[in-house]
């Protein structure tokens, strides 16, 4: 069974269709990439899958179980972790604390789910710190250090530094480490190498490859197509909110529809134009979403 299945997902913003009937599946252990030109709807799709936004139609299944519209905190508890397009680390928290926040759903405190009483219990237990909590605390700290160690000596020596003081690439790495601390069943990476130089990109490529070899299931949005080609088992191409192609990386890369989506459609017939413009219906707007540089 597919780990993640998306069926007919659709999202409109004030009459503008950002995601238009997307289907996709990600099987366990697979790395699937979503590519497409600016404004194709990739990040909206990510937000719909991770609960930051609610779809107008369609459904999302995790392990066959519907998760459509669940809030992000519940999805995280189910093992869905993500990183963000522009990197959202907790700036004033140390690198280690950032990673520990990633382990939030694995703490005993997170299992105290009874409304009100669970909350009061959490406060009291946090105050008295019973032995089991202290053990857990030590264990999670050790684990967090292990996650940091995956990045060699990039993060570990800086574990106690506040995240805002890190270089840009290290902040992105911290964000991935944080997501890994959740022990995700599905990891969604939104442009993990954005803003990285070629060396850093190559290093991260190797890192993601190693995650893949460990059997992690990954859904990736990425602009650097060479990276996508090297990492992906399958590639899904979006344009104007729709899926225009899907398949193995090389096949997709040579698909004329994909090239057209990136480079633009050649100009249509000059003559048919005026007659068509008179009609109102074809004036479709696709994306007035905010653009991020």
Partner 1 sequence: MPEFTLRTLADQLVNGLVIGNVYALIAIGLALIFGVANLINFAHGSVYMIGAYVGWVCVIWLGWPLGATFVVVALICATLGVLIERFGLRRLQNEARIAPLLATIGISFALDQLVQLIFSPNPQSFPNPLPAARIALGGVSIGALDLLIAAITAAIAVMLFIFLRFTRLGWALRATAQDREAAQQMGVDVDAINALTFAVAAVLGGIGGVMIGMYFTSVYPTMSYGAMLKGFAANLLGGLGSVPGAVVGGLALGLIETFGVALLGSTYRNLFTFIILIGVLVLRPTGLFGARRATPPEPLTGTFVANSRPVHIPRALVIGGLIAAILLPFFTSNPYLLQILTNAWLFSMLALSITLVTGTAGQMSLGQAGFLAIGGYASALLSMRLGLPLELSLLAGAVIAAALGTLLTWPVFRLRSQYVALATLGIGEVINQIILNWEGLTNGAMGLSNIPPLSFLGLPVIETAPIYWFALGILVVAALFQWRLMQSHLGRTWRAVREDDVAARAMGISLNRYKALAFIAGGLIAGLSGAFTAHMYSYINNETFAATTSILGLTMVILGGMGNMAGAVIGAIALTALPELFRPLADARYLIYGVVLLLLVRFRPQGLLGTV
Partner 2 sequence: MTSTTSATPTAAPTPLLQLEGIQTFYGPIQVHFDVSLHVNSGEIVCLLGGNASGKSTTMKVILGLVKPRAGHVMFDGRPITGLPTPQIIRRGIGSVPESRRIFPDMTVRENILIGAYTRTDRAAIEQDYERMLELFPRLRQRLDQRAGVLSGGEQQMLAMARALMSRPKLICMDEPTMGLSPLFVDRVLDLIQQINRQGVTVFMVEQNANLALQIAHRGYVLQNGHIVLEGAAQDLLGSPEVRDAYLGGGAT
Residues that bind partner 2 (CB under 8 A): 16, 37-39, 167-168, 191, 194-195, 223-226, 228-229, 253, 259-260, 262-268, 270, 272-273, 276-277, 280, 282-289, 291, 293
CA distance linking residue 196 with residue 80, whole number of Å: 25
Give yes or no for residue 52 binding partner 1 (CB under 8 A). Answer: yes
Give yes or no for residue 110 binding partner 1 (CB under 8 A). Answer: yes
Buried b (16+ CB within 10 A) or exposed e, 199-235: ebbebbbebbeebbeeebbbbbbbebbebbbebbebb
- Residue 259 partner contact from partner 1, partner 2, none using kind-dependent CB cut-offs of 5 to 8 Å: partner 2
31-35/217-221 β-pairing? parallel
Shorter beta-carbon distance to partner 1: residue 191 or 239 = 191
The footprint of partner 1 on this chain (CB under 8 A) covers a number of residues equal to 40
- Residue 84 partner contact from partner 1, partner 2, none using kind-dependent CB cut-offs of 5 to 8 Å: partner 1
* Residue 33, strand partner residues: 220, 235
CA distance linking residue 207 with residue 218, whole number of Å: 13
Q: How far is the CB of 81 from partner 2 (least distance, A)?
A: 24
Closest CA to 215 of 233, 198, 203, 199: 233
Shorter beta-carbon distance to partner 1: residue 105 or 201 = 105
CB neighbours of 121 closer than 8 A, spacing ≥ 6? 112, 114
Shorter beta-carbon distance to partner 2: residue 83 or 217 = 83
CA distance linking residue 57 with residue 237, whole number of Å: 20
Say how many Å lie between the first and final Cα of the chain, rounded: 38
Show contacts with partner 1 in window 247-286 (CB under 8 A).
Answer: none
- Residue 267 partner contact from partner 1, partner 2, none using kind-dependent CB cut-offs of 5 to 8 Å: partner 2
Give yes or no for residue 141 binding partner 1 (CB under 8 A). Answer: no
Give yes or no for residue 46 binding partner 1 (CB under 8 A). Answer: no
- Residue 224 partner contact from partner 2, partner 1, none using kind-dependent CB cut-offs of 5 to 8 Å: partner 2
Q: How many residues does the chain have?
A: 293
CA distance linking residue 85 with residue 200, whole number of Å: 16
HSE-up of 25 (CA within 13 Å, CB side)? 7
- Residue 37 partner contact from partner 2, partner 1, none using kind-dependent CB cut-offs of 5 to 8 Å: partner 2
Q: Contact positions toward partner 1, by CB under 8 A?
A: 50, 52, 71-74, 76-77, 81-82, 84, 88-93, 97, 100-102, 104-105, 107, 109-110, 119-120, 122-123, 126-127, 129, 137, 162, 164-165, 178-179, 182
């Amino acid at each position: 069974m597919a780990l993640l299945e998306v069926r007919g997902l659709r999202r409109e913003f004030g009459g503008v269709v950002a995601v238009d009937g997307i289907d996709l599946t990600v099987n366990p252990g697979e790395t699937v990439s979503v590519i497409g030109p600016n404004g194709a709807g990739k990040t909206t799709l990510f937000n719909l899958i991770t609960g930051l936004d609610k779809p107008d139609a369609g459904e999302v299944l995790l392990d066959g179980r519907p998760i459509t519209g669940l809030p992000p905190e519940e999805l995280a508890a189910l093992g869905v972790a993500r990183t963000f397009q522009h990197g959202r680390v907790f700036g004033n928290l140390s690198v280690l604390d950032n990673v520990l926040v990633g382990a939030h759903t694995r703490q005993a405190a997170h299992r105290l789910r009874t409304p009100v009483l669970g909350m009061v219990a959490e406060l009291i237990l946090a105050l008295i710190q019973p032995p089991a909590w202290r053990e857990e605390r030590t264990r999670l700290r050790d684990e967090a250090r292990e996650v940091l160690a995956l990045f060699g000596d990039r993060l570990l020596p800086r574990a106690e530094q506040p995240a805002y003081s890190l270089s840009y690439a290290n902040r992105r790495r911290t964000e991935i480490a944080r997501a890994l601390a959740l022990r995700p069943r599905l990891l969604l990476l939104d442009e993990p190498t954005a803003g990285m130089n070629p060396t850093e990109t190559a290093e991260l490529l190797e890192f993601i490859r190693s995650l893949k070899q460990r059997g992690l299931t990954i859904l990736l949005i990425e602009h650097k197509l060479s990276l996508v080609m090297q990492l992906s088992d399958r590639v899904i191409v979006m344009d104007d909110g729709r899926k225009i192609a899907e398949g193995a990386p090389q096949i997709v890369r040579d698909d004329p529809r994909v090239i057209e989506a990136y480079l633009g459609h050649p100009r249509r017939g000059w003559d048919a134009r005026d007659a068509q413009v008179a009609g109102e219906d074809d004036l479709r707007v696709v994306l007035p979403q905010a653009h991020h540089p």
